[in-house]
Structure 1
Amino acid sequence: MNNSHTAEDILIREDKDGAVYLTLNRPSKFNTLSENMLIALQRELDAIAADPAVRCVVIGGNGRGFCAGHDLREMRANPDQAYYQELFRSCSRVMQSVVNLPVPVIAKVQGMATAAGCQLVASCDLAIAAQSASFAVSGINVGLFCSTPAVALSRNITAKRAFDMLVTGHFIDADKALEWGLLSDVTEDDGLENLVADKVAQILSKSPSAVRFGKAMFHTQRQMALADAYDFAGNVMAENMMSPDAAEGIDAFLDKRTPTWEQPGR
């Protein structure tokens, strides 16, 4: 295990067996996405993207909440439109970097995830929440429509449900978030760590190259017309078939043995 920390420990990184755990660490502020938090997140995401040894990422938050979105006090201290444009561009880069990482990203959610915090959950490939977690895009309550969170939210749940949340600011609980498609799993509060660990272990047990092929293909094909998506997916699958892991995996299946995957970067 190798521990490393980012500026002022507002974001804690832990590396373990090919998985990277990023923990938002402003518990007294409900882990709001301050300028420094966004800079720290972007720095780590860029480093992870360039590291072939990383196979999975988990994003969590310390304290009673996952993430309460942007730091409203910091925003009000800088009443300038150009400042706000750059802030939201910075946040959008972080969210797109999560989507564009070559490995799966899991949101581990306890407590509340609101506004850009809900956006972060929606941007992750998988999201596992404690039963007591709650979700909202509540900017409307302070006179600010959550426009950038709407982009990620509306790609997870139906348009009418997303707009309802955006225009009312109301919270939904973990069970409803699971039913609507914002979450992939819900567990009792004391089972969150174990369920996330089990999901990470499942991912780490698979071929690293196949997972990377798959994540890149999955998000790209979603933006395509049906015929184009099939053409693209077929080409990716053919390329995947030429990988050593595919040969090893199929041979192992036929030989009734456990495959031994390549470990890039090791």
Structure 2
Amino acid sequence: MPEFSRLDIHEGWAEIVIERPDRRNSLIPPLAGEIRDYIEQSNEDDNISAIVLRGEGGYFCSGIDLKALQADPPPPWTGKDVGDVRSMHMALYYCKKPIIAALEKFAINAGASLAFACDLIVAGETAFLQIGEIQQGVGIPMNAAWLKIKTTEFQAARLAFLGDRVKAPELLRLGLISEYVSDDSVVERCNEIAATIAGYPTGAAEAIKQSLVAQRGIDKPEDFFPKTANSALNSAKMLKD
């Protein structure tokens, strides 16, 4: 039974909602596993043409929940299923349906890679994205993988080496998001896009996405995404030790 997220089915499209607003929708392995399962479920549903991914409470995702990983006593899932983060990204990569990210407030570190895993990103006008692992002295394996797919090395370097907050207007200028709207219109706009896609002939979006993904030229996606645990998980362990 999912504990940290939910899946809502609409007319022709699905909505995956991260439900950890008290922790700014930060990722933990069980949540990553739930997102993976919802993506796979939606992927196999012929009645679904598009997917919206958003966070509850007006936040997208603040990255890996380091506080939870350092908790004493540790939560029951600590040390288990750390591969769920990678398997979530693999499910996102293999998803045949277009995924629309509702970037409200922020997408930080692992939250940024979750946003980049989507096909479209709609941001709030004051929202920002940050790949700040350089400040922790750790790598960016999932962000590096998605940035290689979605953008140029110059743009990736700008995000990764500066590690700063990049706001929606600059993200759009850099070509890193699809559009930005008023902060209170993000989810509405994402839903509108999903409904529009769902209104097109059945299978059209899936066929187009297949064509786009084929242009990536990646023969073995499993090798493209690192098999090591997320760097933030390693960082949490180092800080705790």
3-state SS of the aligned residue for 1:222?
coil
Residue 122, structure 1, aligned to residue 116, structure 2: yes
Show the counterpart of 1:7. 2
Deviation at 1:165, TM superposition (A): 1.7
Deviation at 1:18, TM superposition (A): 1.5
- 13, 16, 21: which is aligned to 1:27? 21
Show the counterpart of 1:111. 105
In 2, Cα distance between equivalents of 1:92 and 1:17: 30
Residue type at the aligned position of 2:136:
V
Residue type at the aligned position of 1:42:
R
Show the counterpart of 2:88. 94
Q: Which moved more, 1:127-136 or 1:174-183?
A: 174-183
Show the counterpart of 1:70. 64
Deviation at 1:99, TM superposition (A): 2.6
Task: From the superposition, tell whether residues 64 and 193 of structure 1 become closer, same or farther in structure 2 (CA, over 3 Å).
Answer: closer
3-state SS of the aligned residue for 1:17?
coil
In 2, Cα distance between equivalents of 1:175 and 1:96: 29
Aligned-residue CA RMSD in angstroms? 2.1
Show the counterpart of 1:260. none
The percent identity for this pair of structures is: 23
Show the counterpart of 1:150. 144
Report which of the two has the higher share of helix. Answer: 1
Residue 214, structure 1, aligned to residue 213, structure 2: no
Count of aligned residue pairs for this structure pair: 213
Deviation at 1:131, TM superposition (A): 0.5
3-state SS of the aligned residue for 1:207?
coil
In 1, Cα distance between equivalents of 2:143 and 2:127: 18
Show the counterpart of 2:159. 165
CA contact (8 A) 1:132 1:189 kept: yes
Show the counterpart of 2:31. 37
Moved over 3 A (4+): 74-78
Deviation at 1:64, TM superposition (A): 4.2
Show the counterpart of 1:55. 49
CA contact (8 A) 1:100 1:216 kept: no
Residue type at the aligned position of 1:55:
S
1:57-94 CA-to-partner distances (Å, cap 9, x unmatched) read: 0000012421011121344468xxxx59x62x422221
3-state SS of the aligned residue for 1:208?
coil
Task: For CA contacts below 8 A with separation 6 or more, give which structure has more relative contact order.
Answer: 2
Deviation at 1:37, TM superposition (A): 0.4
CA contact (8 A) 1:115 1:136 kept: yes
In 2, Cα distance between equivalents of 1:20 and 1:64: 18
User: Which structure 1 residue ranges, 5 or more long, are not aligned?
Assistant: 1-5, 225-266
Q: Could you tell me the TM-score, scaled by structure 2's length?
A: 0.81
